Amino acid sequence: VPDLAAALTQEMGAPAALAGGFQMNLGLGHLTTAIEVLENFTFEEQRGATRIVKEPIGVCALITPWNWPLNQIAVKVFPALATGCTMVLKPSEQSPFTGQIFAEIIDEAGVPEGVFNLVQGDGPGVGRALSGHPDVDLVSFTGSTRAGIDIAINAAPGVTRVTQELGGKGPNIILDDADFAENVGKGVGTMMLNSGQTCSAPSRMLVPAERMAEAIEVARAAAEQVTVGDPNGDFVIGPVVSKAQFDKIQNLIRTGIDEGATLVAGGPGRPDGLEVGFYVKPTVFADVKNDMTIAREEIFGPVLTIIGYDSIDHAVEIANDTEYGLSAFVAGADPELARSVARRLRAGSVAINDAFDFCAPFGGFKKSGTGREWGEFGFHDYLEVKAILGYEPQQA
């Protein structure tokens, strides 16, 4: 555990408390969940005279990202193992250490030779070779929508099954009956976690338009509590992963200002006292229109946009007005109202009042991907379904 936590901090800048806490706990949670699912999973069942058999799909290419590396390795490797597949894992070239240590753990655990394989390398080189390889039966990819499209095209000639968990631009609808200060503040904190480098982050906060001023004050105070610094120190967030990521975030922050959004906290440049390193100021924009660039593009940094809505219908319309559909959030005191709003959102998962469940399927609508991971649903893509007709005589 200490080695994995230290690797997470070193390779992608996760603060020590996050690396050794939530990042580690996600990986462990997926392991225990996969074990529990396997104990009760039905690989064969009889339906009338037909036997339904679920068989391992075969060789799986698992391509994982750098932002939550242990989590994404766990949600692919453990279901693949549990369903009897063999696999080649290619972790991101920006977070190779976690994958290397994970491979050592797998070997030490006694997984038979050849079942789990690790290859290091970049996406255009190794990732492309894996996704187009004729001996690969499934490609499971997590990363950007752009790269996901490239992988799907590359896998198409072999009619290789491709599952993808891609980008997101998650709406977080704060209903008028919610504890406003608590939920606006919590929304800011959740957005800033992992320096905002989370595909399922609640990056678009939707609040009643007449309460925008109130939301601004709460959000500003919350953002000011997000400390930034050396990930080995006692700070809430560390640097973003690379110069390319830093530059992208800075450009989008400047675009937000240029397009007329109200800068509530943060802004361009590094935080005071941090002249070296890819540190980004925790940034909040308000009075954002949903057609602005910062409301359309996945920023993948500690940048929150706050958008006003006039009615429940308007909030749902704004929430669904995106090319993504990975995660969404609803906060409210009335359970029936919150549930009715959640049902109308076009997203693979909708969390009511910050609910969390390792067994809930995770994946996206629209350009956020195909297939589902986590829990029982994480097993399905690693299996072929065979129907053996006439397995038993027809009943007279």
d(CA 245, CA 345): 29
Per 3-state DSSP, what percentage of the chain is helix, strand, and coil (rounded to 5)? 40, 20, 40
User: Closest Cα partner for 172 from 159, 156, 189, 148?
Assistant: 189
Instruction: Name the amino acid, one letter, at 111.
Output: V
Type of residue at 99:
G
In the chain, the largest separation of any two C-alpha atoms, in whole Å, equals 83
**Is-contact 370 164, C-beta < 8 A?**
yes
User: 240: which 2 tokens?
Assistant: 């973003």
* Other beta carbons less than 10 A from residue 392's beta carbon: 11
121 by Cβ neighbours in 10 Å (0-12 / 13-18 / 19+) ranks as middle
Question: Pick the catalytic residue: 11, 85, 165, 298?
Answer: 165
List 199, 298, 373, 376, catalytic entry: 199
* Spatial CB neighbours of 246, under 8 Å, sequence gap ≥ 6: 239, 240, 278, 280
CA distance 89 to 105: 14
Q: Are strands 161-165 and 327-331 parallel, antiparallel or unpaired?
A: unpaired
Q: How far apart are the first and last CA of the chain?
A: 60
Please give the helix or strand (H or E) that residue 294 lies within, else none: helix 293-296
Residue 137 region, left (φ>0) first, then alpha (ψ -120 to 50), else beta?
alpha
Active site residue 165: yes
Pair type for strands 349-352 and 283-286: unpaired
- Coil vs helix vs strand at 171: strand
- How far apart are the C-alpha atoms of 103 and 116, rounded to whole Å? 8
How far is Cα 41 from Cα 354, in angstroms, rounded to an integer? 28
Identify which of 298, 302, 253, 299 has the alpha carbon closest to the alpha carbon of residue 280: 302
Q: 217 catalytic, yes or no?
A: no
Q: Are 298 and 309 within 8 A, CB to CB?
A: no
List, as one string, the DSSP characters of 191-215. Answer: HHGGGG--TT---EEEEEGGGHHHH
Cite the active site residues: 165, 199
